């Protein structure tokens, strides 16, 4: 059963189209990883789903369905009842996401109070949820400020804020990027356990394919504001169907690589959305392109990729350039 469904989503900033027809589906208890280079549209997809687009940005087409209810057409008052209660969001940098002059307890209870909880009930729930995310001594913690906590503890506070109202969908926008490896693993395990306990549908935005391999059930690869490929994590890692996905995977270091060898990378630079080429936006960087690729942009086809050239027709994979 699909809980969150994004259909042909278009989002623009002024006259510039950032999302060009995004389609996604997530089921309860499932983690969908959204990956791609910077500028591919990952964070704009999350903000469009949550109704948190910055000034000047707007959804210009498509649907966002949550348990069958269409969110895009809702007015802002109705969307506020959805945010927090139905959709929770974890941001990348807890030091900029948390208010530095507001105590932790106030920040956790703020969303609860906005949804009609009494002061006493909100405080009790704050203590409970801080314990749920593994923070010690919640009764002491609620009187502290963000600068008094470690980076991992601040990230757990953000997670507590996101799940305090027990939402159905949790959107995590690169929540472990600023953390060291040990703390990162703890946060990954925490969110996975919360997903399993509450049946959350998790949309995990990242550029770290190692994280994807550990936590995601399915992966959607974005390029130039569209989905380039989508599929199960196991199948996509074993047999990518889009040359861009193949390039991303082949650029990962492996245990067989020589010590301190240069890291391979996809040639060229991500395309500018302000100057999209005719045809497939990845064609200028693609070693598998054919004539059709430069004149006609492919939709997401039955094999799960927006590519006219299936892998069985690919030429031998060329060596990637090296950093």
Domain map of the chain by residue range? Answer: 102-165
Q: How far is CA 125 from CA 75, 110, 145, 173, in A?
A: 29, 11, 19, 24
Q: Is 107 helix (H, G, I), strand (E, B) or coil?
A: helix
DSSP category for residue 263: P
Residue-level pLDDT at 103: 97
- C-alpha to C-alpha distance for 189 and 186, rounded to whole angstroms: 5
Contacts (Cβ under 8 Å, ≥6 apart) of 318:
287
Both tokens of 159, joined, read 């997670």
DSSP category for residue 150: -
Tell me if the pTM is above 0.75.
yes
Residue-level pLDDT at 123: 97
Residue-level pLDDT at 247: 93
Residue-level pLDDT at 96: 81
Continuous segment of H or E residues that includes residue 288? none
Both tokens of 251, joined, read 């650029």
Q: What is the mean pLDDT of each run of 10 residues along the chain (323 residues)?
A: 95 96 96 94 94 93 95 91 92 84 96 95 97 94 95 92 95 85 89 93 93 95 97 96 94 79 83 93 94 96 94 75 52
Residue-level pLDDT at 317: 58
Residue-level pLDDT at 148: 95
Residue-level pLDDT at 267: 85
CB 304 within 8 A of CB 231: yes
- In this structure, the chain runs to a length of 323
């Amino acid at each position: 059963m699909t809980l969150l469904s994004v259909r042909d989503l278009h989002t623009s900033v002024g006259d510039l189209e950032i999302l060009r027809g995004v389609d996604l589906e997530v089921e309860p208890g499932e983690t969908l990883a959204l990956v791609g280079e910077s500028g591919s549209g990952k964070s704009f997809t999350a903000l469009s789903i949550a109704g948190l687009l910055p000034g000047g940005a707007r959804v210009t087409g498509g649907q966002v369905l949550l348990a069958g209810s269409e969110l895009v057409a809702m007015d802002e008052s109705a969307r506020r009842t959805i945010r927090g209660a139905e959709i929770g969001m974890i941001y990348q940098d807890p030091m900029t996401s948390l208010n530095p002059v507001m105590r932790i307890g106030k920040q956790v209870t703020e969303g609860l109070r906005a949804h009609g909880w009494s002061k006493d009930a909100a405080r009790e729930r704050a203590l409970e949820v801080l314990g749920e995310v593994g923070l010690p001594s919640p009764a002491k913690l609620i009187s502290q400020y963000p600068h008094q906590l470690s980076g991992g503890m601040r990230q757990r506070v953000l997670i507590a804020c996101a799940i305090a109202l027990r939402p159905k969908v949790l959107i995590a926008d690169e929540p472990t990027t600023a953390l060291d490896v040990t703390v990162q693993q703890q946060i990954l395990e925490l969110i996975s356990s919360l997903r399993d306990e509450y049946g959350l549908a998790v949309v995990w935005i990242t550029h770290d394919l190692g994280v994807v391999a550990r936590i995601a059930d399915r992966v959607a690869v974005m390029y130039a504001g569209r989905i380039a490929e989508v599929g199960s994590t196991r199948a996509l890692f074993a047999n990518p169907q889009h040359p861009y996905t193949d390039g991303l995977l082949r650029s990962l270091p492996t245990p067989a690589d020589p010590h301190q060898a240069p890291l391979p990378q996809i040639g060229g630079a991500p395309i500018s959305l302000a100057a999209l080429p005719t045809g497939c936006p990845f064609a200028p960087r693609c070693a598998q392109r054919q004539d059709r690729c430069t004149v006609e942009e492919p939709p997401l086809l039955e094999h799960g990729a927006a590519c006219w050239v299936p892998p069985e027709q690919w030429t031998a994979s060329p060596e990637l350039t090296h950093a």
